[in-house]
């Protein structure tokens, strides 16, 4: 019975898991889990991680076969790490494994969840239709009408998943948004009607009456709808749009005004607002994307905009199925100013730079923090990122670089002489206290509190954004730090952090978090260099769990550069999430490996990442949606 | 500033203008003018509201020390004292559904009105449909807008494998469809009032445009039919999205047809547009927190008064909000301060924030009380839950919650009391009761064990 139940369950699993299982069962004695592993888990792990007791929100007991373990791979990945580091079972647990038992468990978990056969497990993930993000909507209207209206400012903010606002699942279409789209379409057409030049560009001059007029209207709407839908339009759909034109003419509207209802319909059509990719009903598994869908994926990824004429022509000629052509297009587009969208939307969200906008340092403590300075901080980050993207620099310049962009205000904040005036300019740096994102005022400010620096928050930021190792959540009940210290107002934050570490409930995670933040302790809450705090000289030295010691941000950056693979993998996974508009699945590990290899081959140049993503299996393939 | 009215010297809102809009131009109570002289006046409807406080409160400065009708208002609740007879302070309510084994804030926001915990996932998945949305499915049938979801902060990124949406969204249309939070007062006002004029200025300029809206309707018909044909090609999840969109198109159709839409003139909205709140320049949000909140709540009051909607949620801030309140003497991050460590200066700052929120809420109650409706005031016709899903921000506990009920409930609530239930009582019992008062009868909601006793 049990075997049968298992077989039935198996029938429903995705292809790659099946492939993996077959692979795993070739390697491993199929009964080894029940016979050898389950008893170990039972004595070592289940006591705290079962259905009722789930310390750290971890339930290992729910996974009773290999497939379930693979399904909950992220959890088991952490378990593997903890087992390897002998962090689990905790020292206080009564039952401890022998070295051999630990090795056996580690070997089993590793084989089960890290045994991806990239030749056989390619998977594009579930099909999902992505609604245009607000930025994409604005750009699409701009390309369509020739007017940069930024109407999405009136839309409610999009949800954020995995740090990005372009996640397919989170891009919902609530009724409120339908109203906004309708009003925005009306506003856009109002704007077009009040701009004779733009209107003439789109609609042209009214033709003579009769058959010529019909043909002219059809030509207009064919052109507009094709561009708006990013895809050739079926004649039957054009026929339906034309009924609106005829109706308007019958009601006595002049030619241009009679075209308008068709435009209104196009602008509120889901074909415009949603990227609906073509199905191939006959295909059971993944298949290559259609040419126009490929063009859209590429341009929304690199430009946050619909495809331009060159890309549409390449799609029409069916060139995009050739990898060299696809790469050529990607490189062309990366060099185009529209690729700044990657800096703004990808890097800006990955590195959380949008947080600066809403952050307000205390005005009394930091009168220097003017709107102008804040603007310069944001610009500095944007310009350095643009330089890496547009000029294809090594991505390690985001950790440390010998240049940055400053204006007079920002240079004064940094204590750098010789830069005056409001304009931002490229500045060669004399030392490494600046250079790279981490030591930029923008990042140092939004990772601080309004009044003071915040060591754990800065450490958390570094771990999450730069090293791709977001700390686990703190226990919901955080014991007050001062209980063991009394109310001593003169404690520096550094001293408070030391208390942090003495508390066993906090210590495990904060041993990783705090040192990174401490390394940045020489920068105050608006990113200004400081040698002293509360009358004491700042001690920005620390040691990392790996044993490396450092003193201050310059040394910390050097360590991060030495660990550049971790940074590169973090950035790669973020870029892949952004490009695919979904969370990563197990087979995506193969793409990440390819991205890292491409970086190594290219001295870490940014374009290596982009080209590898664009040519990857999940980016160029899809499957039919479940129904 | 701490007096409760919360207007800065450079207030962007002309209070008088708004009052004129509310008190004079909109003096016509709910649909009274529409009643034929012969018919018996119909009973004004109840309005349901949920006003959310993030990051917990200083409970011993919130909770009155005695129960019953002669309780003394605490420091935090003091601004609400003028409305004593329309208030019920409810102690010992608990929201187990706000509990998470890790991460103290995510479930508090995303679970508060849903009555069930959220999935630990970056792609948001709440435990069900929120209580306001359930109410809106019934009450929203009778109004142009089924419900409003308002706030002053847009959402951000998540942490610890939880979607950031949970922190900023109380209201869930379905487990995967959080209702977007509107934070821009100008846009909100336009949507609710001027937006209801069916014709755009350009169309008005076009003399030949027939006024019957038939073209607009045909445009919508076409898009709707086309969307239906697209629907077949989509997966289950995308279909759900498209259905939401189709719902929205229907709302627009109603607005064009004028069906169910209050006639602007009858409700004085035309005049209101002239006496409208003074919005800040451009698309920006009011820079001073109190101005922003007041503007949003003013518009909400108008929407309730004009019967444009009967259900609303409002968040005074997102869970885990780092907002600083330097203007009231609390310049630190709200969230960091809420991890108070029992330090006196942190507790004082938190108390200031908690009291500030109460003042702003009290200001709205004052407006509701100024508006005559039926035999009483609009305040008599509301049921508002004010409170949050975290009790103490340092402990992230979800029992002993700060909750109070405001409004007359259409004469069904006996206010002026502090009720301590004595033992842990599900917050969902309150929801069940609120729903029932609005005519939405459910046997259960979340972990409810029955309607809350003693309210009437």
A323-341 pLDDT, tens digit per residue, is 999 999 999 999 999 999 9
For residue B382, the surrounding DSSP H or E stretch is: strand B382-387
A54 contacts in chain B (CB < 8 Å): 101
Q: How many CB atoms lie within 10 A of CB A27?
A: 11
Which of the residues B166, B179, B202 would you substitute to probe the A interface, choosing the one with the greatest number of A C-beta atoms within 10 Å?
A: B202
Q: How many CB atoms lie within 10 A of CB B39?
A: 8
Q: How far B36 CA lies from chain A's nearest CA (Å)?
A: 33
Name the residue with tokens 């003169």: A490
CB of B252 within 8 Å of a chain A CB? The answer is yes
B245: nearest CB among A178, A363, A477: A178
Q: How buried is residue A612: exposed, middle or buried, by Cβ count under 10 Å (0-12/13-18/19+)? A: buried
Check residue A616 and give its pLDDT: 97
B191 contacts in chain A (CB < 8 Å): 176, 179-180, 183
d(CA A79, CA A499): 27
Residue A275, beta-bridge partner list: A130
- Give ipTM to 2 decimals: 0.82
Question: Residue A262's closest chain B neighbor by CA?
Answer: B219
Which of the residues B118, B245, B285, B391 would you substitute to probe the A interface, choosing the one with the greatest number of A C-beta atoms within 10 Å?
A: B245
Q: Could you tell me the pLDDT band of residue B190, with boundaries at 50, 70 and 90?
A: confident
CA B169, chain centre distance (Å):
11
Check residue A29 and give its pLDDT: 57
Tokens coding B168: 């900023």
Interface list for B 15-44 with A (CB within 8 A): none
Check residue B194 and give its pLDDT: 60
Q: What is the pLDDT of residues B43-81, one digit of tens each?
A: 889 999 999 999 999 999 999 999 999 999 999 999 999
Report the predicted TM-score, pTM, of the whole model to 2 decimal places: 0.86
d(CA B412, CA B246): 38
Q: Which long-range CB contacts under 8 A does B222-225 form with residues at least 24 apart?
A: B222/A240, B222/A241, B222/A243, B222/A244, B222/A265, B223/A265, B223/A268, B223/A269, B223/A270, B223/B249, B224/B249, B225/A240
A270 contacts in chain B (CB < 8 Å): 223, 226-227, 230, 242, 245
d(CA A588, CA B448): 43
Name which of A554, A564, A561, A562 is nearest A430 in CA terms: A554
Residues of chain A above pLDDT 70, percent: 91
Q: Greater confidence, B272 or A252?
A: A252
Check residue B255 and give its pLDDT: 75
Check residue B212 and give its pLDDT: 66
Tokens coding A445: 């400010």
What is the number of structural domains in chain B? Answer: 1
A451: nearest CB among B146, B158, B331: B331
- Any domain includes B201: no
- The verdict on a CB contact (< 8 Å) between B248 and A625 is no
Check residue A591 and give its pLDDT: 96
CB of B164 within 8 Å of a chain A CB? The answer is yes
Provide CB contacts within 8 A for A204, sequence distance 6+.
A216, A220
Interval B189-196 mean pLDDT: 71
Question: Residue A185's closest chain B neighbor by CA?
Answer: B200
- Any domain includes B456: no
- The verdict on a CB contact (< 8 Å) between A131 and B181 is no
Check residue A16 and give its pLDDT: 44
Interval B277-295 mean pLDDT: 82
Q: How buried is residue B389: exposed, middle or buried, by Cβ count under 10 Å (0-12/13-18/19+)? A: buried
Q: How far A253 CA lies from chain B's nearest CA (Å)?
A: 5
A173: nearest CB among B206, B216, B242: B242
Interval B437-441 mean pLDDT: 91
Q: Could you tell me the pLDDT band of residue A108, with boundaries at 50, 70 and 90?
A: confident
- The verdict on a CB contact (< 8 Å) between B208 and A170 is no
Is the pLDDT at A555 greater than 80? The verdict is: yes
Interval B113-136 mean pLDDT: 94
Is the pLDDT at B109 greater than 60? The verdict is: yes
- Any domain includes B451: no
Q: Could you tell me the pLDDT band of residue B264, with boundaries at 50, 70 and 90?
A: very low
d(CA B386, CA B379): 14
- Any domain includes B259: no
Which DSSP string do the residues of B301-348 spell out, in sequence order? HHHHHTTS-SEEEEESS-TT---EEGGGTEEEEHHHHHS-TT-HHHHH
DSSP B85: G
- Any domain includes B137: yes
Helix or strand or coil: residue A352? coil
- Any domain includes B234: no
B181 contacts in chain A (CB < 8 Å): 156-157
Q: What is the pLDDT of residues A237-268, one digit of tens each?
A: 999 999 999 999 999 999 999 999 999 999 99
For residue A237, the surrounding DSSP H or E stretch is: helix A235-250
- The verdict on a CB contact (< 8 Å) between B247 and A183 is no
Q: How far A362 CA lies from chain B's nearest CA (Å)?
A: 6
Which of the residues A268, A456, A463 would you substitute to probe the B interface, choosing the one with the greatest number of B C-beta atoms within 10 Å?
A: A268
Check residue A554 and give its pLDDT: 96
Helix or strand or coil: residue B117? coil
Q: How far A532 CA lies from chain B's nearest CA (Å)?
A: 21
Check residue B250 and give its pLDDT: 86
- The verdict on a CB contact (< 8 Å) between B236 and A626 is yes
Q: How many CB atoms lie within 10 A of CB A285?
A: 11
A517 contacts in chain B (CB < 8 Å): none
Mode of pairing for the β-strands spanning B311-315 and B148-151: parallel
Q: What is the pLDDT of residues A5-19, one digit of tens each?
A: 444 343 334 444 444
CATH code, B81: 3.40.720
- Any domain includes B80: yes
d(CA A499, CA B217): 67
Mode of pairing for the β-strands spanning B372-373 and A541-543: unpaired
Check residue A452 and give its pLDDT: 86
B322 contacts in chain A (CB < 8 Å): 359, 449-450
Residue B386, beta-bridge partner list: B51, B404
Is the pLDDT at B25 greater than 60? The verdict is: no
Name which of A358, A379, A365 is nearest A528 in CA terms: A365
| Beta-carbon contacts below 8 Å between A and B | 266
Is the pLDDT at A176 greater than 50? The verdict is: yes
- The verdict on a CB contact (< 8 Å) between B210 and A251 is yes
Q: Could you tell me the pLDDT band of residue B233, with boundaries at 50, 70 and 90?
A: confident
- Any domain includes B58: yes
Provide CB contacts within 8 A for B203, sequence distance 6+.
B209
Interval B17-31 mean pLDDT: 34
Is the pLDDT at B261 greater than 60? The verdict is: no
Q: What is the pLDDT of residues B339-393, one digit of tens each?
A: 888 889 999 999 999 999 999 999 999 999 999 998 899 999 999 999 999 999 9
Question: Residue B254's closest chain A neighbor by CA?
Answer: A179
Q: Could you tell me the pLDDT band of residue A393, with boundaries at 50, 70 and 90?
A: very high
Check residue B263 and give its pLDDT: 43
B183 contacts in chain A (CB < 8 Å): 156-157
For residue A405, the surrounding DSSP H or E stretch is: strand A403-406
Domain housing B151: 15-33+40-186+285-437
Q: Could you tell me the pLDDT band of residue A475, with boundaries at 50, 70 and 90?
A: low
């Amino acid at each position: 019975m049990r075997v049968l139940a298992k077989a039935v369950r198996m029938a429903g699993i995705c292809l790659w898991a099946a492939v993996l299982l077959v692979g795993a069962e070739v390697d491993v004695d199929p009964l080894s889990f029940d016979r050898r592993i389950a008893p170990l888990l039972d004595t070592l792990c289940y006591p705290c991680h079962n259905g009722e007791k789930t310390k750290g929100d971890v339930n290992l007991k729910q996974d009773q076969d290999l497939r379930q373990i693979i399904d909950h791979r992220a959890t088991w990945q952490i378990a593997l790490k903890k087992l390897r580091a002998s962090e689990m079972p905790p020292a206080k647990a009564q039952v401890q494994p022998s070295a051999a038992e630990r090795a056996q468990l580690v070997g089993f978990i590793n084989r089960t969840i890290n045994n991806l056969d990239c030749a056989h497990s390619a998977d594009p993930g579930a099909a999902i239709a992505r609604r245009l993000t607000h930025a994409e909507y604005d750009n699409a209207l701009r390309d369509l009408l020739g007017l940069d209206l930024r109407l999405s400012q009136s839309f409610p903010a999009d949800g954020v998943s995995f740090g990005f606002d372009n996640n397919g699942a989170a891009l919902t279409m609530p009724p409120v948004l339908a109203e906004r789209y309708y009003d925005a379409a009306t506003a856009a057409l109002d704007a077009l009607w009040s701009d004779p030049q733009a209107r003439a560009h789109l609609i042209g001059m009214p033709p003579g009456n009769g058959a010529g007029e019909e043909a002219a209207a059809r030509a207009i709407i064919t052109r507009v709808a094709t561009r708006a839908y990013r895809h050739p339009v079926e004649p039957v759909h054009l026929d339906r749009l034309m009924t609106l034109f005829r109706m308007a003419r019958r009601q006595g509207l002049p030619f241009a005004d009679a075209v308008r209802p068709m435009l209104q319909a196009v602008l509120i059509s889901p074909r415009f607002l949603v990227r609906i990719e073509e199905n191939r009903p006959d295909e059971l598994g993944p298949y290559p994307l259609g040419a126009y869908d490929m063009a859209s994926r590429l341009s929304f990824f690199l430009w946050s905009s619909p495809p331009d004429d060159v890309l549409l022509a390449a799609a029409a000629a069916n060139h995009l199925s050739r990898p060299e052509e696809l790469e050529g297009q990607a490189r062309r587009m990366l060099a185009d100013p529209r690729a700044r969208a990657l800096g703004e939307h990808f890097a800006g969200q990955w590195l959380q730079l949008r947080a600066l906008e809403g952050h307000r340092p205390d005005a009394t403590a930091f009168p220097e923090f003017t709107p102008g300075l804040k603007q310069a901080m944001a610009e500095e980050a944007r310009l350095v990122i643009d330089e890496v993207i547009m000029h294809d620099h090594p991505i390690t310049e985001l950790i440390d670089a010998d240049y940055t962009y400053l204006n007079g205000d920002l240079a004064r904040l940094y204590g750098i002489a010789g830069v005056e005036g409001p304009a931002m300019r490229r500045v060669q740096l004399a030392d490494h206290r600046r250079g790279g994102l981490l030591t930029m005022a923008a990042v140092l400010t939004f990772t601080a509190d309004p009044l003071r620096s915040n060591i754990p928050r800065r450490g958390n930021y570094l771990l999450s954004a730069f090293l791709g190792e977001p700390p686990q959540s703190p226990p919901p009940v955080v014991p007050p730090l001062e209980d063991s210290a009394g109310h001593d107002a003169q404690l520096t934050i550094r001293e408070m952090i030391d208390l942090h570490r003495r508390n066993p409930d906090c210590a495990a995670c904060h041993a990783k978090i705090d040192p990174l933040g401490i390394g940045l302790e020489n920068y105050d809450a608006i990113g200004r260099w400081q040698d002293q705090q509360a009358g004491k000289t700042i001690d920005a030295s620390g040691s990392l769990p790996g044993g490396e010691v450092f003193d201050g941000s310059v040394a910390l950056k050097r360590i991060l550069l030495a660990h550049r693979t971790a940074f590169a993998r973090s950035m790669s996974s973020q870029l892949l999430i952004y490009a695919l508009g979904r969370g990563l699945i197990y087979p995506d590990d193969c793409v990440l490996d390819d991205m890292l290899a491409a970086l190594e081959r290219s001295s870490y140049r940014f374009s290596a990442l982009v080209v590898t993503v664009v040519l990857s299996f999940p980016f160029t393939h899809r499957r039919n949606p479940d129904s | 500033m701490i007096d409760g009215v919360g207007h800065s010297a450079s207030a962007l809102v002309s209070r008088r203008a708004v009052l004129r809009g509310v008190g004079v131009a909109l003096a016509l109570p709910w649909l009274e003018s529409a009643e034929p002289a012969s018919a018996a006046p119909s009973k004004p409807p109840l309005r349901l509201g949920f006003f959310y406080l993030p990051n917990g409160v200083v409970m011993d400065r919130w909770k009155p020390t005695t129960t019953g009708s002669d309780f003394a208002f605490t420091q935090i609740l003091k601004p609400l004292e003028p409305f004593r007879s329309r208030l019920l302070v409810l102690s010992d309510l608990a929201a187990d559904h706000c509990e998470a084994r890790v991460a103290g804030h995510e479930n508090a926001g995303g679970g508060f009105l849903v009555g069930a915990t959220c999935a630990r996932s970056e792609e948001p998945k709440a435990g069900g449909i929120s209580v306001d949305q359930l109410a809106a499915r019934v009450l929203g049938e009778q109004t142009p807008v089924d419900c409003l979801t308002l706030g002053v902060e847009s959402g951000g990124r998540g942490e610890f494998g939880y979607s950031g949406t949970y922190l900023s969204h109380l209201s869930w249309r379905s487990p995967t469809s959080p209702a977007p939070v509107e934070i821009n007062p100008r846009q909100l006002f336009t949507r609710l009032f001027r937006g209801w004029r069916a014709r755009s200025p350009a169309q008005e300029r076009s003399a030949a445009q027939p006024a019957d809206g038939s073209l607009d309707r045909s445009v919508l018909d076409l898009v709707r039919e086309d969307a239906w044909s697209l629907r077949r090609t989509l997966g289950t999840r995308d279909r759900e999205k498209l259905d939401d969109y189709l719902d929205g198109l229907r709302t627009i159709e109603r607005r064009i047809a004028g069906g169910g839409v209050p006639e602007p003139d009858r409700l004085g909205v035309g005049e209101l547009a002239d006496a409208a709140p003074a919005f800040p320049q451009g698309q920006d949000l009011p820079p001073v927190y109190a101005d922003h909140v007041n503007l949003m709540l003013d518009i909400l009051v108008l929407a309730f008064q004009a019967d444009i909607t009967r259900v609303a949620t409002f968040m005074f801030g997102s869970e885990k909000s780092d907002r600083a309140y330097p203007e009231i003497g609390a310049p630190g991050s709200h969230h960091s301060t809420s991890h108070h460590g029992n330090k006196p200066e942190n507790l004082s700052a938190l108390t200031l924030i908690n009291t500030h929120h109460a003042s702003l809420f009290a200001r709205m109650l004052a407006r509701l009380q100024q508006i005559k409706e039926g035999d009483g005031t609009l305040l008599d016709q509301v049921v508002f839950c004010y409170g949050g899903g975290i009790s103490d921000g340092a402990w992230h506990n979800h029992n002993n919650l700060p909750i109070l009920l405001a409004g007359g409930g259409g004469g069904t609530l006996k206010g002026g009391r502090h009720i301590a239930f004595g033992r842990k009582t599900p917050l969902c019992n309150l929801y069940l009761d609120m729903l029932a008062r609005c005519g939405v009868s459910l046997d259960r909601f979340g972990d409810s064990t029955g309607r809350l006793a003693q309210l009437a």
